[in-house]
Amino acid sequence: MRYPREVIEEVRMQNDIVEIISGYVPLKQKGSSYFGLCPFHNEKSPSFSVNSEKQFYYCFGCGAAGNVFGFLMEMENYDFPEALRVLAERANYQLPTEEKSGQALAMEQLRSRLLEMHTVAGRFYYETLQSDAGAEALSYIENRQLSLPVSRKFGLGYAPNAYNSLYNHFKEKGYSIGDMLQSGLVIENKDKNGYHDRFRDRLMFPIFDPQGRVVGFGGRIIGRGEPKYLNSPETILFSKSRNLYGLNFAKAAKKKELILVEGYMDMISLYQAGFKNVVAALGTAFNKDHARTLKKFAEDIILLYDSDEAGTTAALRAIPVLVENGFRVRVLQVPDGKDPDEFIKQNGASAFAKLLLDAVHYISFEIACIQRKYNLQSPEHKVRFANEAADILSKLDNAIERNVYAKEVSKMTGVEEEAIRSEIQKRVQKEELSFQKEAQRQQNQWKAASVSTKVEKGILEAQRSILYLCASDEKIYQKIAETMEPQDFTDPVQYRILQVMGELWKDAGHVFPAEMVNFFEQNADQRQVAEIFALEMLLGEREDVEKGLNESVKQLKQRKIDLQMNTATTVEEIQKLMELKRKLDSLYITI
């Protein structure tokens, strides 16, 4: 359904973009804009700008741009109606009854069928586990000392060691081949002569979304074979880079602190021991999408990874991802190299609860990790360790925390506390200066490349200049609307932007950037709108504006004539184009 523009604008106005984005990305204010690390590409210097006045975001690094709707669409993989519903709910705004388009209805029906198929598959695997075929898998569960109620709660099952048992089960239920392939649970044979099951001879772990619906599976091999664990492929229901195992159960615990573990069995074992606020990554490195998902449910994270080298490395990689997304992070490594399941079986749940209380701040964990590299009896090693610790402590925003840990490093090394604080402060000041310089450099780079009061160079810059001026002055818009044709623009979206400006000048009497974005549902289109307003254009004297406007208009129209000239095949066509060129030479727009 295309909601009335008034409805969309009302929802947008009730959701401040700085507040929304701050829930995902830590921002620092610089004037009327806020800067942070872009969530859409990897970077070390902040190029992601959120303009509170214009209510849109723009990344000077990768070009990501849009208003509050576009941000949610990018971050959460929502379509426009989903983003609108989420923001309306957040603002306690009642949307009109939705009438879905044919395409939206078809997609919703497909999602519904796939969810149903995953439920059917879960029951099939569960029932197979209870049969003779599942005896070995059931023995594995019993050996891991999982109780029957917990096994049932998590829906554990078994995929039989047969080529196409689930495929045949789906056929009996009347599902189409197309839907089977879309589910990811059935695969076409390499020789294209039939289909087979993705999972065979595996203990099956249903993966639930936060609403408790089965959206995928993880399978552990029972006999011999690789890989040891196999997940469902990416589908419209499931992404292992976004989903976390057990999140539906952790969500029900309603705790703002979550325990993050590495695997299925760790998660289930902790849950069985009474720790309900636990989740696990799905066989992939913890990433920013996982962090964004968790941000909806928690503020504190206890990282509980294996204490071996691989687990330590994984924890060190996860820490900055969590910290950058605003979590308070502590780390726990079980003593003697045991995993959580093993420790609980040997020592009991109460002993493990005490371990959780002793989880250390991530800074303490990072410092302990680097300490292992050095012999602190050596003066040279003391210096190197203290410098590396200063690097870590300089990343803390809280000065009190920096001082506390500086004192600890001083005790460990014997280096004067004031000297360590001084080194930390140097790094903090250097980082702050670098932050400001990089943001300024990228802004200046953008200004030099795309906006100017002089002659615009490049077709894209010419289009942006014209549209920016049309949004700034209704009289300029009227002149351009009379002069420019759809074919004068390189992209139909650019001409549509001009048309939308006309609607806004007529209905609202002004053109507001974030409201403009509301007219475009696709992220790529929203980006083009936001690029027009990414930075203020220095308009200068009206004569200069008029001159620049005419040069931009002529540049676009000349491009169109040149393109048509290249494809002209008759004398009449060429003569017509020459006449258009003569008219263009005499064209001059006065404002």
CA distance 198 to 230: 9
* pLDDT at residue number 439: 60
CA distance 281 to 481: 54
Please give the single-letter amino acid code of residue 261. Answer: V
Classify residue 540 by its DSSP letter: -
Contact 12, 83 (CB under 8 A): no
Spell out the SS3 assignment of 289-356: HHHHHHHCCCCEEEECCCCCHHHHHHHHHHHHHHHHCCCEEEECCCHHHCCHHHHHHHHCHHHHHHHH
Buried/exposed code over 426-438 (b: 16+ C-beta within 10 A; e: otherwise): ebbeeeeeebeeb
Is residue 523 classed exposed, middle or buried when 0-12, 13-18 and 19+ CB atoms within 10 A define those classes?
middle
Is residue 346 classed exposed, middle or buried when 0-12, 13-18 and 19+ CB atoms within 10 A define those classes?
exposed
CA distance 398 to 323: 13
* pLDDT at residue number 58: 87
pLDDT tens sequence for the chain (591 residues): 567 778 888 888 889 999 999 888 888 887 668 888 888 887 777 888 898 878 889 888 887 888 899 898 888 878 888 889 999 998 888 888 655 667 767 888 999 999 999 999 999 999 999 999 999 999 999 999 999 999 999 999 999 999 999 999 999 999 999 999 999 999 999 999 999 999 999 999 999 998 899 999 999 999 888 899 999 999 999 988 889 999 999 988 888 899 999 889 999 999 999 999 999 988 778 988 888 788 778 889 999 998 888 889 999 999 999 988 778 999 999 988 778 888 898 999 999 999 999 999 999 999 999 999 999 999 999 999 999 999 999 988 788 999 999 999 999 999 999 999 999 999 888 877 776 676 666 555 555 544 433 334 578 888 888 998 999 889 999 999 999 999 888 889 999 999 999 999 988 888 888 888 888 877 778 888 888 877 555 555 667 788 888 988 998 888 888 888 877 777 788 888 888 888 888 888 887
* pLDDT at residue number 436: 67
